[in-house]
Chain A
Amino acid sequence: MQGFAEGRFDIAMTAIDNVIAYQEGQGEAKIPDNPDMFVFMGGDSGFLSLVGGKGVRNVAELKGKKLSVDAMTTGYAFVLRELLARSGIAESEVTFERAGGGLQRFQELLKGSHDGTMLIAPFDLLAINQGHARLARADEHLGAYQGVVGATRRSWARENEATLLGFIRAYHAGVQYVVDPKNREISEALLVALAGRTMTPQLARQAADTLLDPKSGFIRDAAVNMQGVATVLALRSKFSGKPLGNPAKYVDPSYRDKALAR
């Protein structure tokens, strides 16, 4: 994100909470104030699940246990904290431990180092295949949630409108391609080839079910889910202590609308 904020990348595909955090000066990396970022299109709803450690079968069993996070102030940690709160578990009743990104948290969960963590597909599927339980799916408990988005800097977008519109059209065509059932085998092959060493053909079949799901998979029209943005803002407001309430401050749908207008 630092490289993106400093202009070394034109576009970032990242969680919208990241964009909001950096715009509000709450990001993990040190970057200049007001990095001029905004969201121009939506990608997915996060594919987030709370997965239990060895022997943990439901959220209530997490009381008194150790949970891993990437950091306490990231969007996905906020989702975990909210899921606990909705299950009647106070933060004082669990221990949080920083354990790095999704791959590291997944590996530590399997080792038995932690009793629960938030995982993004396909790590949740990998853990479930090895006997762990999915304790909660974020989208089933929190309602609409905006996960990955396309983001860039407003100044770059103004100066490179045709390029940005081309990127949106290409990405949208990519979504249309992968969700087309006749391209399913190619989609699974792409996952096996490019989604890391853990992606076996069997896991790719399961991951594709999640990623391509008509309701909760990739956002078909590349639109930002503004209700989902409101959820992200509500969580960041609650856990950061800074009220954030205007989704339009972070999202400009005009480029996406123009790119896909027919």
Chain B
Amino acid sequence: MSRVLVALALAAMSAVASALPQVKPPQLTPISVIVFPGGWNLPIWAAERQGFFEQNGLRA
């Protein structure tokens, strides 16, 4: 009996979930950047790790 109740509960949750509007991840525009290796790329590394590209709609 308890198995039936669990199955019914899961089915109900699934139905509710499918009825909810889907939340899509933000679309990021790809951008390709060529750099010469060295410490002068520090601002780009910080921007990557702090999410500044994503905040500006980009995937670098």
Contact = CB atoms under 8 A, between A and B. Distances in A.
Nearest to A14: B36
Interface stretch (A134-142, A192-200, A229-237, A243-251): A192-200
A177 B41 contact: no
A19 B16 CA distance: 57
A259 to B, nearest CB: 9
A120 B40 contact: yes
A196 B45 CA distance: 13
A167 B34 contact: no
Contacts of B49: 190
A167 B56 contact: yes
A163 B29 contact: yes
A47 B42 CA distance: 13
B3 to A, nearest CB: 51
A3 B57 contact: no
A9 B35 CA distance: 10
Interface string A151-170: 00000000000110011011
Contacts of A173: 47, 50, 52, 55
23 contacts: A11-B32, A11-B33, A12-B34, A13-B34, A13-B40, A14-B34, A44-B40, A147-B40, A162-B57, A163-B31, A167-B56, A167-B58, A170-B52, A170-B53, A170-B60, A171-B43, A174-B50, A177-B47, A178-B42, A187-B46, A195-B39, A196-B37, A218-B40
A178 B58 contact: no
A133 interface: no
Nearest to B56: A166
Contacts of A8: 32
A175 B43 contact: yes
A11 B34 CA distance: 6
Contacts of B58: 163, 166-167, 170
A252 interface: no
A190 B48 CA distance: 11
Given A167-B56, A167-B60, A191 B39 contact: yes
Contacts of A207: 39
Nearest to B50: A177
